[in-house]
Amino acid sequence: MTGAPASSRAWRCHAFGDYHDLVLESVPLAAPAAGEVVVAVRAFAPGFPDMLMVQGLYQLKPPLPFTPCAEFAGEVVACGDDVAHLGVGDRVMGSVRYGAAATHVVAQAAHCLPLPPAFDWAEGAAFHVAYRTAWVGLVVRGGLAAGETVLVHGAGGGVGLAAVDLARHLGARVIAMASSEEKLAVARAHGADHVLAYGDGRFREQVKALTDGRGADVVYDPVGGDVFDESTHCIAPFGRLLVIGFAGGRIPAVKVNHVLIKQYAVVGVRAGEHGRVDPAGGAAVTRALGELAASGAVRPHVCARLPFEALREAYDRIAARAVIGRIVVEV
């Protein structure tokens, strides 16, 4: 059944490179296939991976032209066959691999969650990817247990702040690291027990002092580079060093003799790919995230809300490392 318009207004990338070359265009809107819904987008959340995708620097390179951005919140306006848990008029938040920077998006119904009454559109748009990454990293891949210590890098960013929020909810002791006092203040407000600034980049002794010399049981690292290298010197025996991404630019190398001697694990985390490789596991994560959001136990931090025409400005702020939590574009 369809009640969707025939076209959508969307941001389009016609060539990989400068995101300032993105243009707004009217594009045909496909009818939903089986298992799909069409959502009238009320807000979407640009992220660092989306920016890399436009620049041609991400591992996924969509066929050109394409519409960027992965996360959205809005109202269902049409449903394809075999969609039982959603109906027209439902308020949802969800994700696609790309295509959310538009007035309408076609998405898998299985990748949409009910928007909690306590969330506004912007918070809904900022939830799905960051908290899925945190859940897959900390729970599925990291096996974080209550009482353990987790060191969260990039704690002022979207995925880092979600990890602080989730780890606190899971009963872990949280050490949050970020590059400014403003970012650390937000991390503390989201439940971090201790906050540390990067300063000269030598943080191993501070982490050891906070853990009675043992080190962190879990390290959540979306930064890479020198941060990863230093983290190997303050991880606990049998710890798990979670590789989330490389926002710092340099992809580090692992000294496997050091891994052997200290007996820690280096664990790759790709939250979206986890569900594609293990559909049942991905569905379980989706259910857990729905329950988590509905419980009110966590809440995304939205630092700015921009109008639909300001996507390029949003990327400017992301590139300048000026975003705390998430920045959201409202439609």
User: How do residues 177-200 score in pLDDT, each as one tens digit?
Assistant: 999 999 999 999 999 999 999 988
Superfamily for the 130-272 domain: Medium-chain alcohol dehydrogenases, catalytic domain (3.90.180.10)
Q: What is the mean pLDDT of the chain?
A: 95
Task: Inform me whether the pLDDT recorded for 92 exceeds 60.
Answer: yes
Give the chain's end-to-end CA distance (angstroms, integer): 24
- Give the pLDDT confidence score for residue 2 in this predicted structure: 52
- Grade residue 1 by pLDDT with cuts at 50, 70 and 90: very low
CA distance 12 to 161: 29
Task: Inform me whether the pLDDT recorded for 98 exceeds 50.
Answer: yes
198-251 tens-digit pLDDT: 988 899 999 999 999 999 999 999 999 999 999 999 999 999 999 999 988 889
Alpha-carbon torsion, ordered 251, 276, 274, 252, to 10 deg? -10
Residue 4 backbone dihedrals phi, psi, to 5 degrees:
-85, 155
- Give the pLDDT confidence score for residue 329 in this predicted structure: 98
Residue 62 backbone dihedrals phi, psi, to 5 degrees:
-65, 155
Q: Which amino acid is at 13?
A: C
How is residue 80 written in tokens?
């394809």
Element (H, E) at 321: none
pTM of the model: 0.91
**Residue 38 · residue 5 · CB < 8 Å:** no
Q: Are both 7-127+300-330 and 130-272 of the same fold?
A: yes
How is residue 23 written in tokens?
């243009």
**Residue 280 · residue 257 · CB < 8 Å:** no
Helix, strand, or coil (residue 179): coil
- Give the pLDDT confidence score for residue 206 in this predicted structure: 97
28-37 tens-digit pLDDT: 999 999 999 9
- Give the pLDDT confidence score for residue 199 in this predicted structure: 86
Which of 138, 128, 130, 131 minimizes the C-alpha distance to 108? Answer: 128
Segment 87-107 mean pLDDT: 96
How is residue 157 written in tokens?
């960013």
Domain ranges (residues) in the chain: 7-127+300-330, 130-272
The region that residue 158 occupies, defined by phi over 0 for left and psi between -120 and 50 for alpha, beta otherwise, is alpha
> Angle at the Cα of 311 (from 103 to 58), degrees rounded to 5?
100
pLDDT above 90: percentage of residues in the chain: 91
- Beta-carbon contacts of 73 under 8 Å, excluding residues fewer than 6 positions away, are 41, 42, 43, 44, 91, 92, 93, 94, 115, 119, 121, 122, 123, 124, 125
What's the CATH architecture for 7-127+300-330? Answer: Alpha-Beta Complex (3.90)
How is residue 194 written in tokens?
């201790």
Per the listing, tokens 């070359």 go with: 21
247-276 tens-digit pLDDT: 888 899 999 999 999 999 999 999 888 988
116-125 tens-digit pLDDT: 999 999 999 9
> Angle at the Cα of 319 (from 27 to 315), degrees rounded to 5?
25
- Grade residue 281 by pLDDT with cuts at 50, 70 and 90: very high
CA distance 180 to 326: 16
DSSP 139: I
- Give the pLDDT confidence score for residue 247 in this predicted structure: 85
